[in-house]
Amino acid sequence: MNRYFETLLMLTLALGVFSPPSFADEPQLAAENVRFPSAGIVLAGTLVLPPQIVAAVVLVQGSGPTKRMLGFANALAKQGIATLTYDKRGVGESGGLYVGIHNAEPSNLQLLAQDAACAVQELTRRLPSRQGPVGIIGFSQAGWIVPLAAKASPGIRFMVLWSGPLATTYQQLRFQHLTQEQTDFWDHHTESEVRADLRAAGDDHIPFGDTDPLDALKDLSIPGLWLFGGRDIYVPVNLSIERLSALMAQRKPFEFKLFPASGHDLDERDAFPAAIEWIKSTAARLNPGP
As beta bridge partners, residue 81 has: 55
* Residues 220-270 pLDDT 10s: 999 999 999 999 999 999 999 999 999 999 999 999 999 999 999 999 899
Q: Where are the domains of the chain?
A: 3-286
For helices 106-126 and 142-152, the axis angle rounded to 10 degrees is 60
Strands (E), 121-242: 134-139, 158-162, 224-229
Return the C-alpha torsion angle 162, 163, 167, 169, nearest 10: -90
- Total residue length of the chain: 290
Segment holding 116, helix H or strand E: helix 106-126
**φ, ψ (nearest 5 deg) of residue 223:** -60, 140
Q: Report how far Cα 241 is from the mean position of its chain's Cα atoms.
A: 15
% of the chain with per-residue pLDDT over 90 = 77
CATH architecture entry for 3-286: 3-Layer(aba) Sandwich (3.40)
Among 73, 92, 148, 163, residue whose Cα is nearest residue 115 = 148
pLDDT digits (tens, 9 = 90+) for 134-158: 999 999 999 999 999 999 999 999 9
